[in-house]
Amino acid sequence: MAGKTLYDKLWDDHLVKQRDDGSALIYIDRQLLHEVTSPQAFEGLRLANRAPWRIDANLATPDHNVPTTDRAKGIEGIVDPVSRIQVETLGKNCDEFGILEFKIMDKRQGIVHVIGPEQGATLPGMTIVCGDSHTSTHGAFGCLAHGIGTSEVEHVLATQCLVQQKMKNMLVKVDGKLGIGVTAKDVVLAIIGKIGTAGGTGHAIEFGGEVLQNMSMEGRMTVCNMAIEAGARVGMVAVDGTTIDYVKGRPFSPTGENWDAAVKHWRTLHSDLNAEFDKVVELDGSAIMPQVSWGTSPEMVADVTGNVPDPAKEEDPIKREGIERALKYMGLEANQAITDIKLDRVFIGSCTNSRIEDLREAAAVVKGRKVADSLMQAMVVPGSGLVKAQAEEEGLDRIFLDAGLEWRDPGCSMCLAMNADKLGQGEHCASTSNRNFEGRQGFGGRTHLVSPAMAAAAAIAGHFVDVRELLN
Amino acid sequence: MRAFTQHQGLVAPMDRSNVDTDMIIPKQFLKSIKRTGFGPNLFDELRYLDEGKPDQDSSQRPLNPDFVLNQSRYKGASVLLARSNFGCGSSREHAPWALDDYGFRVIIAPSFADIFYNNCFKNGLLPIVLEEKAVDQLFEEAEVSEGYQLTVDLEAKTVITPSGESFGFDVDDFRRHCLLNGLDDIGVTLEDAELIKSYENQRRKTAPWLFGAGQ
């Protein structure tokens, strides 16, 4: 008999009821809440006169709408009244139902997918949901974690369960060793470039192989974060010593006997050697180069040493039209060298790349250098108040400021431009975020997805440049 | 939730793959704390020539004449014909809310993104997956004949063209059952409250670290 995959184990562990019609009730250990996708869920609870099932399974923080400047003013600092109401509404809802919230002035406030792991609120083996598609991030800890819609946020609040259909198993194996200057972000962009934005649809992806085994937790979070950009709601990495070391000693992590029992269980959270996957994709990690997205979908990526594609060479008519449309929106020419793309702004941040390691990676590149005069703005937005504090303790803020980058307060910021940080029409941005969709970072804005190191290098040069040249 | 059994309606063909949720409803409209009122901003950046802002009267804005829903022949469409990977991107339920508020009841595509697909069912909106070849055929027919309508029967799991041709589709039984009967699935889940409690009590013993440790 075939063994179990990590996904099979997590599923079985949380199965409350298998229904005859193929659907199942799955128990949810943790729900993270933010201001954008929760107000209608709380309102639904009130209208149906229902109470949350288990208060202590929830953790909330405002992140999408918060400003990244003038934070001393608290909620009053949110200029847009509609944004302010949303943040206030989260506060009122959490207060009313007794849910723990890291409010805007709390130093633990940050992007939900940064603070969960940081606090130990994300523990291996958990089922974790949030009304945000990048909840796949938490799969880095051997969790079954995925984004849900607002109706399901309400469902989990009311029942602590979700109705699910079991997904298929997919393994993405990256072996070999990454070259210098090649990061987790490049790995996941290369994966999406290979399998496409629908390559993982209907599947739970486990990322494995030598590259993932050697990767830090921050790196694994970056990879799992973007599973959804490959169409998979769930991305996971097996638990190992790196995972357990990261979790130890965090505020919500177990201690004493509970810790020992937990570790014993966590050690089982990997796919069995004889587990069978429905789909397997393999990549050679040593062949991955720094990546840059040129189009309006995360699968539209190229090596930094490469060129923008030529639609005339694409045989599939739908794909050809997609490339043509993307080039037009992005204001790029077919066959143009990636390094000839000039930039207007640089954004280092988001739930993909705003953790301490990401900031160190960027700081190492800009240290002792200056941001190009041609750039309108280069900003660094740490993922949480605690990441910000640690970066300042390490002197990273000084490195960024001396180089001419802005050092901001934590939040989602320009990843989706719900706050005041956004691109102007036609502006090109080297961004460490996760989506290059049309208008994502601002009306008519043009996003290029890159790693923190590549974004930092682009800030110095004013156009894309192979970061490996700056590291030599 | 509004029940869905049968629907007959005008078809609007949106010939573009990978339509993402930012395209369906841009982020500036996610600041609302309500579930309704998103219709005027459905496909905002494709539909209008200017930048949309929340709380603005969209009836006064300049329309993009090239956008399919702005063509008079598709006015009142309630069946959206789309290409592969429709609804990719974020988990925002504002996307199905906007489609519903605009007046769509059915979306037909060769494939959908998982979260979007699931969100539709929570809002009485039926996403139908048909084979690429069938979708190609429907695109051709809808573009050629003005006033082209499709009839969708969820009970029979069929899409029927004006000429009487029928395409079968799959939908899982639980979702179909909830949609046919307009069920509140929280209520359905709470019928198993005792089972959830007993699972939870068992987990408190076997994995106590999952319950409030450190909080």
Closest Cα in chain B, distance from residue A470 (Å) = 34
Averaged pLDDT, A180-185: 98
A255 chain-B contacts, CB cut-off 8 A: 213-214
Contact call for A416 and B91, based on CB within 8 A? no
pLDDT in tens, B69-89: 999 999 999 999 999 999 999
Which among B28, B114, B186 has the least Cβ separation from residue A202? B114
Count CB atoms within 10 A of the CB of residue A1: 4
pLDDT at B213 over 70: no
B183 CB within 8 Å of a chain A CB: no
Mutation site, A92, A150, A168, A436, interface B, largest B CB count within 10 A = A150
Average pLDDT, chain A: 97
Distances (CA, A) of A231 to A132, A133, A256, B104: 14, 10, 40, 24
Predicted local distance difference test score (pLDDT) of residue B212: 73
| Neighbour tally for A264: CB within 10 Å | 9
Residues of A in contact with B88 (CB under 8 A): 197-198, 231
B136 interface with A at CB cutoff 8 Å: no
Q: Tell me the pLDDT tens digit for each residue of A105-140.
A: 999 999 999 999 999 999 999 999 999 999 999 999
How far apart, in Å, are the Cα atoms of A315 and each of A307, A311, A322? 18, 8, 12
In a mutational test of the A interface, the residue from B47, B88, B122 whose CB has the highest number of chain A CBs within 10 Å is B88
pLDDT at B205 over 60: yes
Q: Does B205 lie at the interface with A, CB-CB under 8 angstroms?
A: no
Alpha-carbon distance B59 to nearest alpha carbon in chain A (angstroms): 19
Query: Comparing C-alpha atoms, which of A133, A105, A106 is closest to residue A37?
Result: A133
**How do residues A22-53 score in pLDDT, each as one tens digit?**
999 999 999 999 999 999 999 999 999 999 99
Q: What residue in B sits closest to A80 (Cα-Cα)? A: B31
Residue % of chain B over a pLDDT of 90: 95
Q: Is B82 on the interface with A (CB under 8 A)?
A: no
Contact assignment for B213 to A201 by CB distance below 8 Å: no
pLDDT digits (tens, 9 = 90+) for A312-337: 999 998 889 999 999 999 999 999 99
Taking the Cβ of residue B61 and every Cβ of chain A, the question of whether any pair is shorter than 8 Å is answered with no
Q: For residue A221, count other CB atoms closer than 10 A to its CB.
A: 34
User: Who's near B5: CB < 8 A, 6+ residues apart?
Assistant: B153, B154, B155, B180
Could you tell me which chain A residue has the CA closest to the CA of B195? A16
DSSP string for residues in B47-101:
HBSS---TT--GGGSPB-TTSGGGSGGGTT--EEE--TTBTBS---THHHHHHHH
Question: Across the interface, which of B123, B186, B207 has its CB nearest the CB of A159?
Answer: B186
Residue B215: pLDDT over 50: no
For B102-138, what is each residue's pLDDT tens digit?
A: 999 999 999 999 999 999 999 999 999 999 999 999 9
Provide the edge-to-edge strand list for the sheet that holds A428-431: A406-407, A377-380, A345-348, A428-431, A446-449
Length of chain B: 215
CA dihedral A159, A165, A167, A168 (to 10 degrees): 150
Q: What is the pLDDT of residues B7-63, one digit of tens each?
A: 999 999 999 999 999 999 999 999 999 999 999 999 999 999 999 998 899 999 999
> Cβ A233–B23 below 8 Å, yes or no?
no
Which residue in B32, B33, B184 has the most chain A C-beta atoms within 10 A of its own C-beta, making it the best mutation to test that interface?
B33
Contact at CB, B189 and A161, closer than 8 angstroms: yes
Contacting A residues, span 396-425, partner chain B, CB-CB under 8 Å:
416-418, 425
Contact residues on chain A for B133, CB-CB shorter than 8 A = none
For B209, the closest of A19, A165, A258 (CB atoms) is A258
Quick one: closest CA in B to A23, which residue? B174
Q: Residue A252's closest chain B neighbor by CA?
A: B214
| Residue A360: pLDDT over 70 | yes
HEC assignment per residue over A41-108: HHHHHHHCCCCCCCHHHEEECCCCCCCCCCHHHHHHHCCCHHHHHHHHHHHHHHHHHCCEECCCCCCC
What is the pLDDT at residue A278?
Answer: 98
pTM of the model: 0.97
A193 touches chain B (CB under 8 A): no
Task: Please name which of A36, A38, A60, A71 lies closest in space to residue A410, comparing C-alpha atoms.
Answer: A71
Q: Determine the average pLDDT of the residues in A211-216.
A: 98
Structure confidence at residue A318 (pLDDT): 84
The answer to whether the CB atoms of A233 and B114 lie below 8 A apart is yes
pLDDT at B214 over 80: no
**Cβ–Cβ gap B91/A132 under 8 Å:** yes
pLDDT in tens, B14-23: 999 999 999 9
Which chain A residues contact residue B210 at CB under 8 A? 29, 123, 126
- pLDDT band of residue B1 (cuts 50, 70, 90) is confident
Query: Which residues in chain A have their CB less than 8 angstroms from residue B122's CB?
Result: 149, 151-152
pLDDT the model gives residue A1: 79
Contact check, Cβ <8 Å, A133/B91 = yes
CB spacing of B196 vs A132 below 8 angstroms:
no
